[in-house]
Amino acid sequence: MNLKASTVITFGLVLLSLFFIKFFKLGLVLSPFLAVLIAIGFLIGAEFLSRKTKFSKHVSLLLIFTILALSLIAFVSVTAVVINSQLGGITEKLVEGYDVVMQYVNNNQWSQALLGKAQESFSLSSISSLNQALSAFGIFFFTLISGIFIATQPKTYVKGLKSFLNVKDETVFNDWKKEVYQGLSNWLKGKLAAMLIISLATWLGLTVIGIEFALTLGLLAGLFSFIPNIGPLMALIPAASIALFSGGNEVWWVLGLFVLIQTLESYVLLPLINQESVSLPPAFTLTLQIFLGAIFGFWGLIVAAPIGVLMITSWPYLINKNTK
């Protein structure tokens, strides 16, 4: 490829990237990487099923899609009523807490002035929040479909990546590909295991304490734990709010429970997981979260840790390439 053609292609890619960033959403730029993570998750399940049943990988993958779809239908059918009622109860509790706060606000002039300013921007922020929610759902759906396509024909996309990177040494590329796949798959398996354990521990702990809606709060804790450092705080806020508005000393027990779970996760669970996965230094992960979160918002927080895994597994190959 001559210099002129290379310049035109590079310029075109830059314009295409700017088009996506301007007219769509920044989160959409990260969707290919998220799609790869989803595809790896499907492939992990297919490889496991293939080893246990001796089915081909394509048949195993089809079974994984079928099992996932049926599991989601069953989960929604069985738990939707419970979770819906609990979410309704959580909303009622938060409304009760809101009434208490409003009584305090109405008795203070300075807080009334502050509330007036907040209400002026409420309608605009509500429209913005709705727009962001619809955008997030659209990005998630697009990413899920892309992940399914990648999982069904991974070799096609690997071949395309190899052509895009203009690989000259195929052996080095194959080694790098295996290293990245192994690193991301181990990280994903460890993260899914940690999410399950945290969900169960939170649910059981809140049930023992006597907090309402323990099942829903446990599921939220497991989902939020996918986001390192910030996720546990996001999970604590609704649980602590419910405990606080319920009265009594339950809020302190909830705080203690979350501190205990976070401590066990950091010093027991994660070290065990990292024995089979890539160990990410906390400061490195936090820096990536701040950087990517500032640029891409919520989606940047989601992909910060796996991008860290990608960087750590790719670094030796970049060093080798530059020192040759």
Domain match, 98 and 183 both: no
Report the pLDDT value the prediction gives residue 103, as an integer from 0 to 100: 59
39, with CB counted inside 10 A (0-12, 13-18, 19+), is buried
In a domain, 5, yes or no: no
Domain match, 187 and 120 both: no
Report the pLDDT value the prediction gives residue 128, as an integer from 0 to 100: 52
pLDDT tens readout for residues 299-309: 788 888 888 88
User: Where among 166, 189, 218 does a domain terminate?
Assistant: 166
Q: Is 20:161 a contact under the CB 8 Å cutoff?
A: no
- Taking the CB of residue 286, how many other CB atoms lie within 10 A of it? 15
Task: Name every residue whose Cβ is closer than 8 Å to that of residue 167 and which is 6 or more positions away in sequence.
Answer: 173
DSSP state of 24: S
Domain match, 220 and 242 both: yes
Domain match, 39 and 157 both: yes
Domain match, 97 and 154 both: yes
Report the pLDDT value the prediction gives residue 133, as an integer from 0 to 100: 56
Report the pLDDT value the prediction gives residue 30, as an integer from 0 to 100: 79
In a domain, 251, yes or no: yes
User: Where among 166, 182, 208 does a domain terminate?
Assistant: 166
Domain match, 303 and 187 both: yes
Taking the C-alpha atoms of residue 201 and residue 221, their distance in angstroms, rounded to an integer, is: 10
Domain match, 79 and 187 both: no
For tokens 């052996």, name the residue. 171
pLDDT tens readout for residues 139-188: 777 888 888 888 998 888 888 888 887 877 888 888 889 989 998 998 88
Stated pTM of the model: 0.70
Taking the C-alpha atoms of residue 238 and residue 222, their distance in angstroms, rounded to an integer, is: 13
Report the pLDDT value the prediction gives residue 56, as an integer from 0 to 100: 86
Residue segments in the chain with a per-residue pLDDT below the cut of 70 = 1-28, 75-137, 247, 274-277, 279, 319-324
Domain match, 40 and 143 both: yes
Domain match, 202 and 132 both: no
Report the pLDDT value the prediction gives residue 242, as an integer from 0 to 100: 82
Domain match, 152 and 237 both: no
Q: How many domains does the chain have?
A: 2
How many angstroms separate the Cα of 158 from the Cα of each of 59, 87, 151? 21, 43, 11
Domain enclosing residue 187, as ranges:
169-324
Report the pLDDT value the prediction gives residue 160, as an integer from 0 to 100: 86
Domain match, 209 and 288 both: yes
Report the pLDDT value the prediction gives residue 23, as an integer from 0 to 100: 45
Report the pLDDT value the prediction gives residue 235, as an integer from 0 to 100: 87
